[in-house]
Chain A
């Protein structure tokens, strides 16, 4: 097989692609179908007439289509209110985490100040901190601040994100020194450097971190589940499991409520698919 001409090599590659490759592709397509199926089944169930849902036998496609389950959930629960809570809290977490981390990352990357090394090590060490271990104390703290059942109470404990600081520092570190020196020669202040040079050069990572933080905050369950008792203040992922009266034990309604809860982030993902994928790869690339 050594020293075959290019043409022969291509033929070999093509043959491999045909046989083993075909099998692999079939396998991966099959796996993808299996992966997507639970979601498909949830959607189909939510579009069925309630009696059809529990009818014996397998009905992969509804015989009678209806949006009843959706209208029922929309008009008989506080789902709109839960959306608002989710959007506000997840949005606030995202903005605050990204802003704080960018500022801190810049200071750690580009400025000299006493205690810098110590602080850097502390942040590195807290990378592994298990936030759920602090549940009890966060609850006590938020109770003392009188922030339970409020947006602020939901947001605050989610702000500890040493990882985003670490990522920002590493990205800022890799901005070429020359750029900085040129800007300093032009008389740029530190703030101007941050906003005119370092952030614009790293918009990619900012979007990436924002997307990841937002998905994480939208999906968070345990903390909002503890910090919120009033139905008005629940976010959507807690609301659909805690408040029962709107849905009762109707499977189509339960599915409709669940899918409505998933819809916004799913839409964001489907629209910005390439961006989200790149975002996650970007954060991984530097850590790896």
Chain B
């Protein structure tokens, strides 16, 4: 009896002191480009506003497979962070490997959020088997960056300063030819040295033909989807083989080719908008713009994904209810302040954040925000998403095909067989 009494007293003493103490929230993200700087600003603002209550301690890790490997292994041994950024494309895989902690209604209340604050598609993407595992933060995609001065000189700019004559595979090449005549040796810049960036363009092109990467029966590139995938690959490969874009360009170099003026068109994620904005503000960049990807095939479609916040399922090292409440408060605050996240190029997922004059006037977001209507999200499967077997396969088959080391047909058959072999 006596011991139970002391134990109770002790534990209450602890919980009291825990409630009074400042909660330090360990935060991991993978945001390193222009959007990384914006996120840092958000975190700093949060920390200033919550001095003495909650402090975020942020670590930025290498994007992609390295990040998710760290997350997965450290959650398995209870060494993960308290909160992390997570791609919704990877959610099925994250749930299957037991990396994610389910979010309860109480959690959402603590964050001051409701599922209705987000678009239904976003909420669905954050849900597996009726259970929510993440809070959507944004929708992001790839866009076409363009050099206004170069395009104007080549007669490719309309009265509103927007590119024209780029729709259609042949027309696009004709436009590239005009830019070549204007003195640009290789007028297109794509990051074609890795699987992730080539995948984003490829997946857009596949969906522009109405193709399906993974069908309802769990089969990869079934039926004529294979031909559509080959067509998408071949188109990208032709940009390289016909000399419009150099092969095997690394990420940084792909941006530098555009910002340095060597290429007038650049396909990359919206997350590089801040890079351009900042350079332009410093007077180190020409007049530029960003628009939705041209329609190369039958219909508009653009690959898209979502950054979200998730809590790792730290096995054997559950966090205290106080810490968890603090984490949810962080997530809620981030959602509510996500209009600013729009300056990182992304479309905030939180409806009220988009529903502001500030966001509606934000450029170039307003120009390309139409892409959300035809956004094509990665297949819903534990084999898909960032750092997944699909991304690996893109690096092993698609990327070499774009650079001319494999034919489109070989690459897509290889990719299909490789992925089908991993599906059970």
18 new A-B contacts, CB < 8 A, other than A148-B74, A244-B63, are: A54-B256, A54-B260, A139-B73, A148-B79, A226-B73, A230-B79, A242-B62, A243-B59, A243-B60, A243-B61, A244-B36, A244-B60, A244-B61, A245-B36, A245-B60, A248-B36, A249-B33, A249-B255
Q: Is A143 close to B, CB under 8 A?
A: yes
Residues of B within 8 A of A148 (CB): 74, 77, 79
Chain B 119-172 residues near chain A, CB threshold 8 A? none
In whole Å, how far is B35's beta carbon from the nearest beta carbon of chain A?
11
Q: Per-residue CB proximity of A72-83 to B under 8 Å, as 1/0?
A: 000000000000
Across the interface, A249 reaches (CB within 8 A) one of B60, B70, B252, B260, namely B252
Task: Give me the 6 closest cross-chain CB pairs, A-B, nearest first.
Answer: A249-B252, A245-B60, A244-B32, A143-B77, A229-B74, A231-B59
Residues of B within 8 A of A139 (CB): 73
Q: Is B280 close to A, CB under 8 A?
A: no
Report whether B33 and A242 are in contact in the complex, using a CB–CB cutoff of 8 Å.
no
Residue of A nearest to B75 (CB): A229
Chain B 259-296 residues near chain A, CB threshold 8 A? 260
In whole Å, how far is A149's beta carbon from the nearest beta carbon of chain B?
5
Q: Is A71 close to B, CB under 8 A?
A: no
Q: How far is the CA of A248 from the CA of B79 in the complex (A)?
A: 26
Report whether B32 and A248 are in contact in the complex, using a CB–CB cutoff of 8 Å.
yes
Report whether B60 and A149 are in contact in the complex, using a CB–CB cutoff of 8 Å.
no
Across the interface, B61 reaches (CB within 8 A) one of A54, A242, A248, A251, namely A242
Chain B 1-45 residues near chain A, CB threshold 8 A? 26, 31-33, 36, 40
Report whether A229 and B73 are in contact in the complex, using a CB–CB cutoff of 8 Å.
yes
Q: Is A110 close to B, CB under 8 A?
A: no
Chain B 74-93 residues near chain A, CB threshold 8 A? 74, 76-77, 79-80
Residues of B within 8 A of A245 (CB): 31-32, 36, 40, 60
Report whether B256 and A229 are in contact in the complex, using a CB–CB cutoff of 8 Å.
no
Q: Is A12 close to B, CB under 8 A?
A: no
Q: A249-B251, A249-B252 are in contact. Are A241 and B62 (CB under 8 A)?
A: yes
Report whether A230 and B59 are in contact in the complex, using a CB–CB cutoff of 8 Å.
yes
Q: Is B243 close to A, CB under 8 A?
A: no
Residues of A within 8 A of B36 (CB): 244-245, 248
Residues of B within 8 A of A244 (CB): 32, 36, 60-63
Q: Is B223 close to A, CB under 8 A?
A: no
Q: Per-residue CB proximity of B161-204 to A under 8 Å, as 1/0?
A: 00000000000000000000000000000000000000000000
Report whether A149 and B40 are in contact in the complex, using a CB–CB cutoff of 8 Å.
no
Q: How far is the CA of A231 from the CA of B30 in the complex (A)?
A: 13
Report whether B80 and A229 are in contact in the complex, using a CB–CB cutoff of 8 Å.
yes
Residues of A within 8 A of B62 (CB): 241-244
Q: How far is the CA of A242 from the CA of B256 in the complex (A)?
A: 22
Q: Per-residue CB proximity of A222-257 to B under 8 Å, as 1/0?
A: 000010011100000000011111001101000000
Chain A 116-144 residues near chain B, CB threshold 8 A? 139, 143
Q: How far is the CA of A107 from the CA of B104 in the complex (A)?
A: 61
Q: Is B66 close to A, CB under 8 A?
A: yes
Q: How far is the CA of A148 from the CA of B62 in the complex (A)?
A: 20
Residues of A within 8 A of B256 (CB): 54
Across the interface, B66 reaches (CB within 8 A) one of A54, A242, A251, namely A242
Residue of B nearest to A248 (CB): B32
In whole Å, how far is A99's beta carbon from the nearest beta carbon of chain B?
30
In whole Å, how far is B420's beta carbon from the nearest beta carbon of chain A?
28
In whole Å, how far is B93's beta carbon from the nearest beta carbon of chain A?
19
In whole Å, how far is A64's beta carbon from the nearest beta carbon of chain B?
16
Q: How far is the CA of A139 from the CA of B70 in the complex (A)?
A: 13
Residues of A within 8 A of B74 (CB): 148-149, 229
Residues of A within 8 A of B59 (CB): 230-231, 243
Q: Per-residue CB proximity of A242-276 to B under 8 Å, as 1/0?
A: 11110011010000000000000000000000000
Please name 8 pairs of A and B residues whose Cβ atoms are closer than 8 Å in the assembled complex, sorted by A.
A139-B73, A148-B74, A149-B79, A231-B59, A241-B62, A242-B62, A242-B66, A244-B32
Of A54, A241, A251, most buried by chain B (CB within 10 Å of CB) is: A54
Q: How far is the CA of A226 from the CA of B60 in the complex (A)?
A: 17
Residues of A within 8 A of B80 (CB): 229
In whole Å, how far is B58's beta carbon from the nearest beta carbon of chain A?
8
Residues of B within 8 A of A229 (CB): 70, 73-74, 79-80
Residues of B within 8 A of A149 (CB): 74, 79
Residues of B within 8 A of A242 (CB): 61-62, 66
Chain B 348-380 residues near chain A, CB threshold 8 A? none
Residues of A within 8 A of B70 (CB): 229
Q: How far is the CA of A230 from the CA of B71 in the complex (A)?
A: 11
Residue of A nearest to B262 (CB): A56
Residue of B nearest to A249 (CB): B252
Residues of A within 8 A of B255 (CB): 249
In whole Å, how far is B263's beta carbon from the nearest beta carbon of chain A?
14
Residues of A within 8 A of B31 (CB): 245
In whole Å, how far is A108's beta carbon from the nearest beta carbon of chain B?
37
Residue of A nearest to B77 (CB): A143
Chain A 9-47 residues near chain B, CB threshold 8 A? none
Q: How far is the CA of A231 from the CA of B74 in the complex (A)?
A: 13
In whole Å, how far is B189's beta carbon from the nearest beta carbon of chain A?
14
Residue of A nearest to B61 (CB): A242
Residues of B within 8 A of A249 (CB): 33, 251-252, 255
Q: How far is the CA of A118 from the CA of B59 in the complex (A)?
A: 49
In whole Å, how far is B78's beta carbon from the nearest beta carbon of chain A?
8
Q: How far is the CA of A245 from the CA of B251 in the complex (A)?
A: 15
Residue of A nearest to B59 (CB): A231
Q: How far is the CA of A226 from the CA of B256 in the complex (A)?
A: 33
Residue of B nearest to A54 (CB): B256
Of A139, A149, A245, most buried by chain B (CB within 10 Å of CB) is: A245
Residue of A nearest to B252 (CB): A249
In whole Å, how far is A224's beta carbon from the nearest beta carbon of chain B?
13
In whole Å, how far is B56's beta carbon from the nearest beta carbon of chain A?
13
Residues of B within 8 A of A251 (CB): 252
Q: How far is the CA of A149 from the CA of B77 in the complex (A)?
A: 10
Residue of B nearest to A149 (CB): B79
In whole Å, how far is A79's beta carbon from the nearest beta carbon of chain B?
14
Q: How far is the CA of A131 from the CA of B93 in the complex (A)?
A: 31
Q: How far is the CA of A205 from the CA of B76 in the complex (A)?
A: 43
Q: How far is the CA of A274 from the CA of B252 in the complex (A)?
A: 42
Q: How far is the CA of A184 from the CA of B59 in the complex (A)?
A: 60
Q: How far is the CA of A120 from the CA of B34 in the complex (A)?
A: 59
Q: How far is the CA of A229 from the CA of B59 in the complex (A)?
A: 10
